[in-house]
Amino acid sequence: MPRVNTTSVREALDHLRSEYDRLSASGKVSPEVKMLINGMFLLFEVLVSVFLEKTTRKNSKNSSLAPSQTEKDESAKTVAGSKSRGEQESLDQFSNSRSVEITSRSKVNDCSVCGEDLSAVPCKGQERRTKIDIVFEKVTEHVDAEIKKCPSCHNEIKGEFPTDMPGPLQYGTGLKAWLINLVMAQMVAVGRAKKMVQAMIGVMLSENTILKYVLQLHVALESWEVSAKSVLLEARVMHCDETSLRVEKQNYWVHVYCAGDVTLKYLPQKRGGEAVDDIGILPTYGGVVIHDC
């Protein structure tokens, strides 16, 4: 019996829909049959999304089950050799990081008990102990542009600077990415992130500078957001949800739209239909929308 999984079911459903679309285009399907089959396809899309593509276990938080009757959460994986819990994330290093490994040998030259010379005695084995530490490295790059005076036209000609050095002083992409990760991904306060940079490299960045990096990322992602919207609108099933978030002591709402590996989040101050209309995804979406309930 062939193996059935999310991919195989989805491929079979897509194949049936394409055949149905071909027959409909050739006029071989009556309007009544079209309405019936479209309703069946809609039902299949919901079943595949709910039961295969997004399975949520019942627990004490989303059902009436008591905590003692809730199954163990298998998503909380334990890393081998560690007592910490949580899903194991990728261990890939960043491209601007460097790993240095040093191996040294502790030699035995004499017996610590009787004082016998052991320098000529062969080694029968060894025991290894390991220490892992981090050293923060500040890399300062200077580029000196030559200035020469042309003997022919008497004009001063200056060498060109790299494109990522538009001014007398700037900070590299590694530092910018680390700051954005702290503020946006790790939810570290901007003031604390500023102090961390000062402790590491001895340079005090202003909070406005850090927020400028976040704004630059926002502008750079504008074209990606447009393409992500197109992907969501073309998806046959989309998951949507909203949750509250306090912003400067006021209540805002995070609106989430996701399908496949694309997720968009918006932060309007309103929750209902007005915010949904302003975002502009659901009003033009023709697929199946699944809420967290």
Query: Is the residue at 182 inside a domain?
Result: yes
Of 65 and 134, the one with more pLDDT = 134
The verdict on residue 115 lying in a domain is: no
Contact 97, 107 (CB under 8 A): no
The boundaries of the domain holding residue 24 are 6-56
pLDDT digits (tens, 9 = 90+) for 69-114: 566 555 445 444 455 555 566 666 667 778 889 999 899 999 999 9
Tens of pLDDT, residues 150-195? 999 999 999 999 998 999 999 999 999 999 999 988 989 999 999 9
Asked, for residue 87, whether it belongs to a domain, the answer is no
> What is the average pLDDT score of the chain?
83
Sign of CA dihedral 50, 51, 52, 57: positive
In a domain, 39, yes or no: yes
Of 39, 56, 73, which closes a domain? 56
pTM: 0.56
Q: Is residue 41 part of a domain?
A: yes
Q: What confidence score (pLDDT) does residue 277 get? A: 92
Residue 283 lies in a domain: yes
In this structure, is residue 233 part of a structural domain? yes
Which string of b and e fits 258-285 if b means at least 16 CB within 10 Å? bbeebebebebeebeeebbeeeebbeeb
pLDDT category of residue 122 using cuts at 50, 70 and 90? very high
What confidence tier does 16 reach under pLDDT thresholds 50, 70, 90? confident
Q: Are strands 250-259 and 237-247 parallel, antiparallel or unpaired?
A: antiparallel
User: Is 201 a member of any domain?
Assistant: yes
How many domains does the chain divide into? 2
Strand order in the sheet with 262-266: 262-266, 250-259, 237-247, 288-291
